[in-house]
Chain A
Amino acid sequence: MSSMTAPSDLPKKSVPAAPTRVGGITLFARREFRDALASKWFLLYTVAFTVLAVAVSFLSLSGVGSQGFAGFSRTAAGLLNLIMLVAPLMALTAGASSIASERERGTLLYLLAQPVSRAQLLLGKYFGLAAALTCSLCIGFGISGGVLAWRTGGVGVGAYATLVGFTVLLALAMLSVGVLISVGSRRSSVATGIALFTWLALVFVSDLGLMASSVLFKLRVQEIFGLATLNPLQSFKMAVIVNMNASLDVLGPVGAYASQTLGNGLPWVLASSLAAWIILPLALAVVLFVRRGSV
């Protein structure tokens, strides 16, 4: 965030002069952010996520909440399921419509006529959407965190901060994938369709497939763990759990194996899986967008 808002000498520049490399990105990031705020999806997703997160916080505390010892971990377990469904959906669809809709409307030509490179344009759009998504998530987590504080009178702030942090990472990773889809699609509707299919694949199909293959092929624990970390959603889930419990033994033999062999390095392995999901699709999207030449 700071790299976007920090040193830019924007106000001095008049429009015709070519902005600096960072300045160009910032310019488009801001434009994208403003567009996002003005659009319905930002409002819709923010409201939906906030309402669901508050509902989960309430439900997970009902029944035992009055007895006061309901720890954060069960609330987190409820939130985990919600986040793994909603956050990728938000980010994938937002990313998917980014370039494709401009292309479809014809505004992409106009944008490319500006004195900035194609890479700057794409990165600007990515950072703008990333900022909008982060804000959206922060609003949702902020309000449901307030509910938790009020209802339980004290839960692990560190654990909650971890959950927020990794959710932002997950959203950024899914946004990268969404932007990649968008770069490759001619029409906005096609991009959204592919994004929804990708969401289905990452959320359900890959897990079910891995379950089936671990049973059918009698995969060893290290193979299951390795394959699971390839899925950003599983990496996200394991990272949140390992940061909350200091161990993955909650996840049975596979988790215990990961905790024992990787030890303190485990959160870093999982975080770097997420980081790879942020960087690689975005880099590929930039390369494709630059090499495409035409609109």
Chain B
Amino acid sequence: MKPVQFAISICLFVTSLTHAEKAMQATLNPVPVSFVVELIEKAEPGDVIRVPPGVYEGNLIIRKPIILDGGQKAIFDGLGKATVIEVVAEGVTIRECAIRGSGMDVTGEPSAIRVIAANVTIESNTIEDVLFGIDLREAPSANIRNNVIRCKDLEPGRRGDGIRLWWSHGCVIEGNVVQGSRDMVFWYSEDLQILRNTVTHSRYGLHFMYSHNTVLEENDLNGNSVGVYLMYSNGITIRGNRMQNNRGASGYGIGLKDCDDITITGNALLANRVGVYIDNSPSSINSTGLIESNMIAFNEIGLLATPNTHDNVFTRNAFVENEEQAVTHGRGRLVTNAFSRGGVGNYWSDYAGFDLDSDGIGDVTYEPKSLFGVMLAKEPNLRLFVHSPAQQAIEFTARALPELRPESTLIDPSPLASPPEIKLEIVGTGVGGMRMFIFSASLLSFAAICIAVMGIERGMPAQNSGGRT
């Protein structure tokens, strides 16, 4: 927007020349946020307030159901004090605003936007340099869409949450991008829809505490400490998400702690420390967990479960090239869980069986027995020796000497002979392939030049006294 256009838009709303002049100035110098407060006071409920471009300094409280439209050029700066915008009226919309500079003091939990009323929409805002991003407290039926949130660059433990819900039922959280926050966390909030969000470089990507009956779909959780952690939350569906490179001391793609009736389908869990971690879930009688059609690949541990874990059903998953495919946390076995449903098990990339009748189901059961895995469970320090010939030697010894073979950690009676079709994005690019070709070609030509330069006889009489050995 150009200054002339602001003037027109302001005139339309406020019909005051002085405001237009102020608006012109706002593009140059910061003005106090009281300017916006005046705009709101003059507006009727339901009006769209197009905030002129500029920097507005101070803390704003919205007490009227209005639509605050920053047109992507209005910046609200809290100057490092308290919460920048607080919404106390129902039905408010905040869109296309830039919000920055909340307080640092954890005790007041200062945020970019705090909402304590129902039916609020927060859309397409850019939030930076704040402790908490968007904080909903008893704010049901909110829509949080397409916001970009970057929290203050602090140690993970000192950061605030990118998005936090507290007792806020029926909200839609869609298409947000959160970077470098603590968690995107949901407390006591039910019937949520968490769709297509991206959380990177945070502690927990999506964190549920006592929040039931929610759908998580197509979120991208990359490079966090934990992708999705559900705690004491029941009836959650996790579908079509991607959890990649979630590493560190926890490092779970998905973690479940005392959760009943969880459905995990069609997710890609790649290169995490642990793909799926299950701690005592399901915990109630007559509840189950269903883990179906997921790609669990390239993790240090594909599935890690506490020994008391039972009544989960694993079917049609692909366990591909995990350093350890499925293990218990400590001793014990996973045999109280079903690794097959209706005669259809999972694909295991280390399955050494065969499928003579070509029905897609392996003819012998999958019963992994890894002596090194058992040693790792007892002595975590030995993980230093993975990827070494010594590890192979130990496994070979265990295969050769039956008395050394440990019990299998699980039994899949009907393993799949080939990996099920699971749709995933293709990461490789032609550009990288070209570079790789060039690099390989240069390695070969280096060798060729070397042989040409060094191998040609010059200056010295032939001393080839016969080939050696």
Report which A residues bind B (CB closer than 8 A): 1, 4-5, 10-11, 13, 15, 27, 29-31, 33-35, 37-41, 60, 63-64, 67-71, 73-74, 77, 80-81, 84-85, 97, 101, 105, 107, 111, 128, 131, 134-136, 138-139, 141-143, 145-146, 148-150, 152-157, 160-161, 164, 188, 203-204, 207-208, 210-211, 214-215, 219, 221, 224-225, 228, 233-234, 237, 241, 247, 249-256
Contact = CB atoms under 8 A, between A and B. Distances in A.
A157 B384 contact: no
Nearest to A46: B447
B469 A214 contact: no
A39 B467 contact: yes
B439 A39 contact: no
Contacts of B429: 153-154
Interface string B412-423: 000000110010
Given A64-B349, A252-B386, 15 more contacts: A30-B458, A31-B460, A31-B463, A41-B469, A60-B321, A64-B419, A81-B388, A131-B454, A146-B441, A148-B440, A207-B390, A214-B382, A228-B384, A234-B388, A249-B251
29 contacts: A15-B459, A34-B464, A40-B469, A69-B425, A69-B428, A74-B298, A84-B389, A135-B450, A142-B444, A145-B440, A146-B436, A146-B437, A149-B432, A154-B427, A154-B428, A154-B429, A155-B432, A157-B436, A160-B439, A203-B389, A204-B393, A207-B389, A211-B385, A215-B379, A237-B387, A247-B247, A252-B380, A254-B381, A254-B384
A196 B385 CA distance: 22
B364 interface: no
Contact of B447 (A27, A30, A139, A149): A139
Contacts of A69: 270, 297, 424-428
A81 B389 contact: yes
Central interface residue in A30, A143, A214, by most chain B CB within 10 Å:
A30
Given A39-B467, A145-B440, A154-B428, A233 B388 contact: yes
B320 interface: yes
Central interface residue in B379, B393, B446, B450, by most chain A CB within 10 Å:
B450
A161 B439 contact: yes
B356 interface: no
Interface of B: 247-249, 251, 270-271, 273, 297-298, 300, 320-321, 349, 375-376, 379-390, 392-394, 418-419, 422, 424-437, 439-441, 443-444, 446-447, 450-451, 453-455, 457-461, 463-465, 467-469
A35 B468 contact: yes
A150 B433 contact: yes
Contacts of B298: 70-71, 73-74
B426 A253 contact: no
Contacts of A234: 384, 388
B389 A253 contact: no
Given A33-B454, A63-B349, A97 B468 contact: yes
Contacts, number: 226
Central interface residue in B379, B447, B454, by most chain A CB within 10 Å:
B454
A contact face: mostly helix, strand, loop, or mixed: helix
A211 to B, nearest CB: 6
Contacts of B389: 81, 84-85, 203-204, 207
